[in-house]
Amino acid sequence: MSDLHLADLSGDIVNEPIRKGFGRGLKRAGEENENVVALCADLTDSTQMSLFKEAFPHRFVEVGIAEQNLVTTASGLASMGKIPFCSSYAAFSPGRNWEQIRTTICLNDMPVKVIGSHAGLSVGPDGATHQMLEDMAIMRTIPNMIVIAPGDSLEAERATLAMAVNGKPVYMRLAREASPIISTLDTPFEIGKAYVYREGVDVTIIATGAMTYHALVSADKLRADGIEAEVIHCPTIKPLDGDTILTSVRKTGAVVTCEEAQITGGLGGAVAELLAENCPAHMKRIGVQDKFGQSGTPEELFEHYGLTSKHITMAVHEIVSKKKGQA
């Protein structure tokens, strides 16, 4: 894995909100291409668009609390040759404006970049109304839409730069709270690619977003238990990197997926669909199990909904036991 240039997680771990990387990446994209524009729905500081606004005030549009206008205006700008990035909380975009995203952006294949910030349970005390858990599922169903969940702030920065030049509709989900930085400035990122962050032969753990850190922690614990887990970081949910996933699962014969979202329709659903048609295997999905969120600290919520490294480790033991029992 030396060519991936991952961060050393054995010592002091650096934490930073994933959204911070988006803010830096958007400003860099604006510096590299004058056609990059930004639109926000009254959440400029929260979604980290403030860096772009300060650098390019004439290329920034504040639409107010009007998420449907946000994406429709962005689609119009895209039709005139601009590369629009539009941001809000994920609960409101795509939560409130899914139909406009579908019809004005994706049906016309407009290169609008929809940024859903503050996604997942880690919004914490804001509670169920603001904890968007269905975004990956609802965006994954729309034709032409790409879906990305970066693993840390540095990857979010790289993903933003890649989005600015790919010429397609893209949805990227971001988290509010600080999370461990697991990559470096030299770690590769390509839309549509998954990466084997740790090699193993007994089970494949496929994770996306900040859950990849928890998967890596679990892999360390499992090694002490005599289980060699292969960890795949999957920042692009759609299009899914089927080749990388199938190569691993054909070797290990067992899979655990990990996401900070509903397991229905998200990463777990996407992987299950892939394996059902190509390589049936023992599988367990870690994520929110058809429930709404609630108020609490991120740590309390991850424990309550079973999203910690401890829960991943337990799921792996269960699935490996099933595999051995069938052998």
DSSP β-ladder status, 195-198 and 229-233: antiparallel
SS3 179: strand
Q: Can you read off the two tokens belonging to residue 127?
A: 């509670």
**DSSP secondary structure string for all residues of 44-87:** TTTTT-HHHHHH-GGGEEE--S-HHHHHHHHHHHHHTT-EEEEE
Closest CA to 309 of 205, 184, 187: 205
**Amino acid (1-letter code) at residue 246:** L
**Of residues 288, 257, 261, 287, the one with CA closest to residue 273:** 257
Catalytic residue among 54, 67, 190, 228: 67
- Based on the residue annotation, tell me whether 155 is a catalytic residue of this protein: no
Residue at token pair 């299009």: 239
- 84 contacts 52 by C-beta, under 8 angstroms: no
Six token digits for residue 165: 């030049």
- Is residue 62 within 8 A of residue 94, CB to CB? The reply is no
Q: Please give the structure tokens belonging to residue 13.
A: 């771990």
Strand locations in the chain (E): 15-17, 36-40, 60-62, 83-89, 113-117, 146-148, 170-173, 178-180, 195-198, 203-207, 229-233, 236-238, 254-262, 282-288
Q: Which residues are catalytic?
A: 67
